[in-house]
Amino acid sequence: MANVLSQKDIQAQLAGSSSNIIASILGQTNDIQAQVAANNAANALQACQNNSAILSRIDAQTNAVESQLAQMSYALATGKGEIVNQNDRNTNAILQGQLAQTQTIVNTLNNHWQEELAQKYQDAKLELSQLNQNATLIAALKPTTTA
């Protein structure tokens, strides 16, 4: 009975096989754990690289926005200056127009008053002349008393 195994032999073979199976499972578990750790590290590295790329894009966008804001600020400042200058020119033009109109009114009034004064002067000269003529006529026509 050379082919018949005893129960102890079967148990010994099973125990040896179990040890081999357990060792194999432990080896595979260790390999899986190492692979998970490597994947976690690779994922963490990729996340950091992604974050770095995102931060770089954000920095570039921020710089572009800041540059555009600076350009807009300059344009507004120079445009504001031009608006103020144009307002000054417009105000000066309005004031010059009003000054010219005021001067025209003053000149018209002065001319009117001068004409009025000239007319009063002529009227006064005529009145004085008439008074002198009347006095001369009265003196000539007045009877003289001889004593």
Residue 72 host element (H or E):
helix 7-141
Question: What is the C-alpha to C-alpha distance for residues 47 and 45, in angstroms, rounded to an integer?
Answer: 5
Question: pTM for the complete prediction?
Answer: 0.39
Q: What is the pLDDT of residue 51?
A: 84
Residue type, 102: T
The pLDDT tens digits of the residues spanning 1-43 come to: 456 667 777 777 777 777 777 778 888 888 888 888 888 888 8
Calculated CA dihedral for residues 25, 26, 28, 33, nearest 10 degrees: 140
- Alpha-carbon distances of 96 from 17, 35, 57, 88, 91, rounded to whole Å: 115, 90, 57, 12, 8
In a 13 Å sphere around the CA of 82, the CA atoms on its Cβ side amount to: 6
